[in-house]
Amino acid sequence: MRLNQRQMEIFNAIMINKSMTAAAAALGTSQPTISRELRDMEQRIGFELFLRFGKRLTPTNQALLLHEVVRRAFVGMEEISRAASAIRTHNAANCRVATIPAYAEAILPRVAQRLLKHRPAVHLSLHSLEELSLQHEMATTVFDLGVTEGRFEHQGVISQRIEVGDLVCVLPIGHPLSSKPVLEPADFDSVPFVYFSQDDPYRRKLDDIFFAAGISRSYAVETTTAASVCSMVSAGVGVSIINPLTAANHLGKGVVLRRFSVGVPYALAVWRPARKTGSAVAEKFTAVLKDVANEMRATLQSAMDKG
């Protein structure tokens, strides 16, 4: 079984436009041609892609799974087209960066703003992925850089760490604990706490600290990103302890930040395929990332010193 490029284009167009008629218009062809190609594609792969109710199409679960793969292929084709356009206009400075959602929200907008201010010709493409997906994509060298908080061991990838300070306590405005400049594990005894997911490495470090201190926090809710933790805290769901970058990004945004008496160092990691180590754009991006991270660290420390 082998699908051709045209069939994948048609399948992708139907999934995006939700109908054969709209897909035909988007591709500049006829609805009967789209219908015929779709039937041929289903015969080749051996299962139905859509349930048909008159003129309405409903994608099957198999179609949804297949489209995830096809969609990534078309994203890659779009990148190739943009790169070709850049080369044609003598503007071939492209940089594809994969990152975790926490950094896509907290630090990379600042990095992008500064990088593009000094290098407006750079074509910067940022992709937010969960860490396991990011590791897979970096291993296949789809991206020029990966920015995350985890360690990554792979033969074709090199990495460097950027230290950005210790984890920070985050509280709702007016919370009783906000009267203290430094919070100890005992302060969290029976206090509603917003947890990260159980597979988060810093969740495990914090769990070990509270277990060693004999402190039992009250489970309020569990969520996956530091930004969502801050939203929960701001809404008064509970308190938490988060990375300093997200903490710095939430200064003045409905939460109170305090130091934690137990230092838990936090660092972000920059991964790069070994074959791309000479990229001037990647080097510049990493340098700007370091500068912005250090500035955010200093701003956070100053704000906490002032209480």
Helix spans in 161-254 (H): 201-212, 226-234, 244-249
**175 and 108 share one domain:** no
Cα angle at 203 between 201 and 207, to 5 degrees?
A: 120
The answer to whether residue 96 scores a pLDDT higher than 90 is no
Q: What is the C-alpha to C-alpha distance for residues 307 and 303, in angstroms, rounded to an integer?
A: 6
pTM for this prediction: 0.68
> Looking at per-residue confidence, does 29 or 91 come out higher?
29
- Structural domain including 211 reads 168-263
**101 and 63 share one domain:** no
* pLDDT single digits (tens) 111-152: 999 988 877 777 788 888 777 677 666 665 567 888 988 665
Q: What is the C-alpha to C-alpha distance for residues 241 and 258, in angstroms, rounded to an integer?
A: 9
**244 and 114 share one domain:** no
Mean pLDDT of 221-230: 92
Asked if residue 240 belongs to a domain, the reply is: yes
Residue 172: which CATH number? Answer: 3.40.190.10
At which of 18, 40, 72 does a domain end? 72
**153 and 279 share one domain:** yes
**288 and 142 share one domain:** yes
Mean pLDDT of the chain: 85
Query: Where on the phi/psi map is residue 66: left (φ > 0), alpha (ψ -120 to 50), or beta?
Result: alpha
**139 and 275 share one domain:** yes
19: tokens are: 């109908």
* pLDDT single digits (tens) 246-259: 999 999 999 999 99
Structurally, the chain folds into a number of domains equal to 3
**34 and 156 share one domain:** no
Mean pLDDT of 83-94: 55
* pLDDT single digits (tens) 264-302: 999 998 988 776 555 788 888 999 999 999 999 999 999
**53 and 195 share one domain:** no
What's the Rg (C-alpha) of the chain? Answer: 24
pLDDT of residue 76: 61
The answer to whether residue 71 scores a pLDDT higher than 80 is no
pLDDT of residue 116: 86
- 272: β partners: 158
CA-based end-to-end distance of the chain? 65
